[in-house]
Amino acid sequence: MYKIETLNNGIKLLTAPLKDTKSVTVLVLVKVGSRNEEKDINGISHFIEHLLFKGTKKRPTSLDITKELDGVGADYNAFTGKDQTGYYVKVAADKIELAFDIVSDMLLNSSFKSKEIDKERGVIIEEINMYDDNPLLSIDNLFEKIVFKGHSLERDIAGPKKNIRKITRKEILNYYNKYYISSNVVVGVGGKFNKQRVNKLTNKYFKEFKKKKNNLKIDKFVSKQNKLRVNLKYKNTEQVQVALGFPAYKINDPKTYPLLLLSMILGGNMSSRLFMEIREKRGLAYSIRTALEAHEDIGAFVVFAGLDKSKIELALTTINNELKKVVDSKVTSDELTRAKDFIRGKLILKLEDSSNLIQYLATQRLFKNKVDTLEEQLKKIDKVTINQIQGVAKEIINLNKLNLSVIGPFKDKNIFFKYLKK
């Protein structure tokens, strides 16, 4: 059973033991991401994530860090989102202190050398280029620019290249010192470990985190959309990438459970409505899926698809018709049962891994006061009714709140308004 506690310096510690594993994952989540950035430094959260791997006083270079981790066969990485940044090391259970040592050293003692900052600018710019050149990777960013229009949530996590070229070391240090504070941090430990030892290691290695009260407030997003919006990016491709979706619920809204099941029924797997209708029956797409995005104050429900450019009209009108159907008519009891069973199976398989488990729980702790276990989550999913699913469908799927992003060989976005209003 997991345990939540707060250390003397304000750091939140979450431990989650797993019986049948020989590994342990040490994860640190910091409650900061691209939504916290001013426009002229957009990309700085992700920049800092990169820089924490570039050397400390104890480990002066990135090679010094990676050699130690590679030497024990560790799995390690970091990630930046809209509202969090994470760093993790997964090792054999007997190497737990090494994981604590390295993660804390990176977070607390990074050098931020000017030479490394300048070198990393080029790396990040190439990462941005990689996303820009690949419609499959960049369609999500294009969708967020329209569904969260006018808010910091619309900005790319990596930022624009012009920002990366000019962000200064002083700006990096100021931002780091503002957000990398104890009250903004969750340390998660999942897998095989001794609880008493974990407490000692946490106090030993994370005691230097600045004890500073977090008075930081997010600029909450409120959707004021009242008409269909289209965001078009021209690219001479054979396949058209589209993202079609609506504003949805925040991360701790109870309606996320019926929306999750609706998403599964529509496009969550290879037996879902959209997959069967769009790909199997009509051959209009290679890939089609639904996804949910959830933040502290808002979320989004999205259909992603890679479509045949010559049949774009038929594909979009078919997707639109399937969305209308689920609003007008209730899902079947068989569909609901299969969706619940699918989610149950996927969650059980996913949370058998120590890194997945601790990220799942720690993310909840970062944004919610209560952390639901797997069993508690599954109970909430099991309680969802057909009527609740139709209720959220009617609430979310609304043409006046529809956002469509398209990457493909099209220059006139007006044609897409025509397709979707049919």
Residues marked as catalytic: 49
Phi, psi of 82 (to 5 degrees): -70, -35
Measured CA to CA, the distance from residue 89 to residue 95 in angstroms comes to 10
Measured CA to CA, the distance from residue 48 to residue 80 in angstroms comes to 9
Neighbours of 175 (CB within 10 A): 20
Neighbours of 403 (CB within 10 A): 24
Q: Which helix (H) or strand (E) holds 345?
A: helix 333-350
| 65 touches 139 (CB < 8 A) | no
Q: Is the dihedral of CA 320, 271, 352, 372 positive or negative?
A: positive
Q: Of 158, 146, 80, 391, give the one whose Cα is nearest residue 259.
A: 391
Cα-to-chain-centroid distance, residue 230: 23
The tokens of 151 are what?
A: 């808010």
Measured CA to CA, the distance from residue 308 to residue 115 in angstroms comes to 47
Which amino acid belongs to residue 400? N
Q: Which helix (H) or strand (E) holds 290?
A: strand 285-294
Measured CA to CA, the distance from residue 10 to residue 42 in angstroms comes to 28
Using CA atoms, how far residue 140 sits from 24, 221, 226, 406, in Å, is 32, 18, 22, 10
Max distance between CA atoms of the chain, in angstroms, equals 64
Measured CA to CA, the distance from residue 106 to residue 396 in angstroms comes to 42
